[in-house]
Amino acid sequence: MGMKKKYWQRRHLMELFMKTIMRISLVVVAASLGLILWTVVMRGLPAMNWDMVTQVPKGGFYMGKEGGVLNAIIGSLYLALGGTLLAMLFSLPIALYLKTYLGASKWGHYVRLSLDVLWGIPSIVYGAFGFTIMISIGMRASLLAGIIVLALVELPIMVRAMDEVIRRMPTDLEQAALALGSTKFEVAMQVVTRQMLPGIMTAILLAFGRGIGDAASVLFTAGYTDRIPTSLLRPTASLPLAVFFQLGSPFPEVQQRGYASALILTVIVLAVSLGSRWLSSRLNKYTVK
Amino acid sequence: MDTHIQVKDLNVYYGKQQALKDVNIEVPKKQITVIMGPSGCGKTTLLKSLNRFLELTDGTRITGEVLVDGQNIYDREVDVTEVRKIVGLLAQRPAPLPMSIYDNVAYGMHIHKMRNDRKEYKAAVRHYLEIAGLWEEVQKRLHDPASSLSIGQQQRLCLARGLAVEPEIILGDEPTSALDPISSQNIEARLLDLKQQYTTVIVTQTLRQAKRLADHVIYMYMGEVIESGPAKEVFTNPKHERTRQYLEGLF
């Protein structure tokens, strides 16, 4: 029968070969990520208890005595939410401007290029930059400074992610609105933003993930404290730094708590991801597929 | 003939390529004008010059004039959003906006602030859905996503949406080419109903459709207008050899 598959044919072998490579890469990546998660869970779980998430560090916490990392949990949420919100205020207009008015022009190209470069700069540089400015205006490490620097770290990611999403806006949809006599601004606000809402949410989430996990940018700018911040001008703790300090401790109990703190951070990111997925699935009811 | 649109010495270039060459035509008021010609002859370019859609493509250069009621729409002083309010477009494929059926029709009226309160908007939405022959089918699901409609219904929704901003001119860029035969007939019937009130310009690939709809015909070839005139004359007694060949299906 002429239709029988000839497995030894070059093109079938090629497919088999490529499929195998794809599977292997998937397994390698999934396994490494799984291993990291496994380590965090196995080492962190024994140190997890109610106190970890409801108490601030008490005297002797850093030598293995009682207390928790509530200060860092609250601090990180304040920092990341504040930073993400602030970054969003600038990112959405920039992304819409890029799409609506700059498009594929020379200036659009330059803006995208510089954002890509900013994306690649290590966050410690942002931290050091923020610190220099703070010193020159006589400001001390505080929640506010941390939020501003985190917003700067998140901004390039958020703008570029939004830009990539918004660029995929179907032209016929845009033209439908223009044909009714909309201004480009009305199209951007009422049509593009609506249609691309799920993608915009993903961009925000991506930036939030980077923000909440970043230690270096908040090291100098937000400082560290065992108290929950009560004002924007007070310093604040954060989970990545809590992990860093505890893992650096010589006491095994404290190191375990470092893993527990990392576990808490992971769970927060997971919860925010799932939450925003759910939200965007509710919001995209009217999205044209 | 009462002229509504007059195109004078229109030349359009996409980059270095010339898409329209010295186009001079007149479009009669409250009649259906059909633009015909083989693919790539510039039909759609000519159509899109009438609502200033050409400038949405980078690298387009336009010279000449398009006069609507004597006013050149390419004049510096002219507000492009006003041009597009007066000159509506029914696209080749329906593109419902990412909102409900109701909001799709209300959208244009909202941006131009054409009504005073909710009640008036509601009444207007109903009115235009009725004109487009869609009201019966959607009255119970006005707040469903517009994309949940069938493609034929979507095209009628787009018609209602376009009429809601009270244009004087309707452009149709092969408005039935993506539809099934029944939906196409439906759209054609609407266009014939509406020609009493609107100046209509349609681009079509199908000769039979042109014969069913046209009061006035423009025949184009390679970016030039070869012949234009009343449908009867052009169809029964074309002046140019090329038009005759096209009508006989020779190319």
Q: Does some domain include residue A64?
A: no
Name the nearest CA neighbour of A240 among A128, A157, A150: A150
Name the nearest CA neighbour of A285 among B94, B95, B145: B145
> What is the rounded CA–CA span in Å between residue B84 and residue B42?
20
Task: At B57, list the tokens.
Answer: 């493509």
Predicted confidence (pLDDT) per residue in A237-257, tens digit: 999 999 999 998 888 888 989
Predicted confidence (pLDDT) per residue in A89-115, tens digit: 999 999 999 988 888 788 999 999 999
Could you tell me where the beta strands, DSSP code E, fall in chain A? none
Name the nearest CA neighbour of A84 among A194, A203, A233, A166: A203
pLDDT band at B137 (very low <50, low <70, confident <90, very high): very high
Name the nearest CA neighbour of B158 among B123, B131, B198: B131
Cross-chain residue pair B91–A172, CB shorter than 8 Å: yes
Beta strand pairing call for B224-230 and B216-221 = antiparallel
Q: Does some domain include residue B111?
A: no
Please give the share of chain B, as a percent, with pLDDT higher than 70: 99
Q: Does some domain include residue B78?
A: yes
Name the nearest CA neighbour of B203 among B73, B90, B52, B64: B90
Beta strand pairing call for B71-72 and B60-68 = antiparallel
Q: What residues are paired with B171 via a beta bridge?
A: B89, B201
| CATH value at residue B45 | 3.40.50.300
The SS3 call for residue A56 is: coil
The SS3 call for residue A182 is: coil
Q: What residues are paired with B230 via a beta bridge?
A: B216
Q: Which residues in chain A have their CB less than 8 angstroms from residue B53's CB?
A: 175, 178-179
DSSP code per residue over B123-141:
HHHHHHHHHTT-HHHHGGG
Cross-chain residue pair B95–A288, CB shorter than 8 Å: yes
Q: Does some domain include residue B207?
A: yes
Q: Give yes or no for a contact between A61 and A51, defined as CB atoms under 8 angstroms apart.
A: no
> What is the rounded CA–CA span in Å between residue A60 and residue A62?
5
Q: Please tell me the predicted confidence (pLDDT) of residue A121.
A: 93
Residue of A nearest to B104 (CA): A177
Q: Please tell me the predicted confidence (pLDDT) of residue B251.
A: 57
CA B218 to chain centre: 14
The total number of structural domains in chain A stands at: 1
Which domain does B174 fall in, by range? 3-97+167-247
Cross-chain residue pair A180–B158, CB shorter than 8 Å: no
The SS3 call for residue B2 is: coil
Q: Give yes or no for a contact between A251 and A276, defined as CB atoms under 8 angstroms apart.
A: no
Q: Does some domain include residue B76?
A: yes
Predicted confidence (pLDDT) per residue in A144-156, tens digit: 999 999 999 999 9
Q: Please tell me the predicted confidence (pLDDT) of residue B191.
A: 92
Q: Does some domain include residue B13?
A: yes
Mean pLDDT score of chain B: 92
| CATH value at residue A115 | 1.10.3720.10
The overall longest dimension of chain A from CA atoms, in Å, is 85
Q: Please tell me the predicted confidence (pLDDT) of residue A1.
A: 61
The total number of structural domains in chain B stands at: 1
Which domain does A164 fall in, by range? 71-286
Task: Please tell me which residue, A37 or A6, carries the higher pLDDT value.
Answer: A37
Q: Does some domain include residue A134?
A: yes
Please give the share of chain A, as a percent, with pLDDT higher than 70: 100
Q: Give yes or no for a contact between A148 and A217, defined as CB atoms under 8 angstroms apart.
A: no
The SS3 call for residue B219 is: strand
Å between A118 CA and nearest CA of chain B: 29
> What is the rounded CA–CA span in Å between residue B120 and residue B105?
13
Residue of B nearest to A103 (CA): B58
Give the count of beta carbons closer than 10 Å to the beta carbon of residue A136. 8
| Of residues A186, A191, A289, nearest to B147 (C-beta) | A289
B250 has pLDDT over 70? no
Q: Does some domain include residue B104?
A: no
| Of residues A104, A177, A183, nearest to B97 (C-beta) | A177
Q: Does some domain include residue B140?
A: no
Q: Does some domain include residue B154?
A: no
> What is the rounded CA–CA span in Å between residue B169 and residue B191?
12
| Of residues B85, B89, B97, nearest to A173 (C-beta) | B97
Task: At B147, list the tokens.
Answer: 């994309």
> What is the rounded CA–CA span in Å between residue A236 and residue A74?
9
CA B234 to chain centre: 21
Name the nearest CA neighbour of B188 among B174, B205, B201, B176: B176
Alpha helices in B13-63 (DSSP H): 43-49
> What is the rounded CA–CA span in Å between residue A215 and residue A241?
6
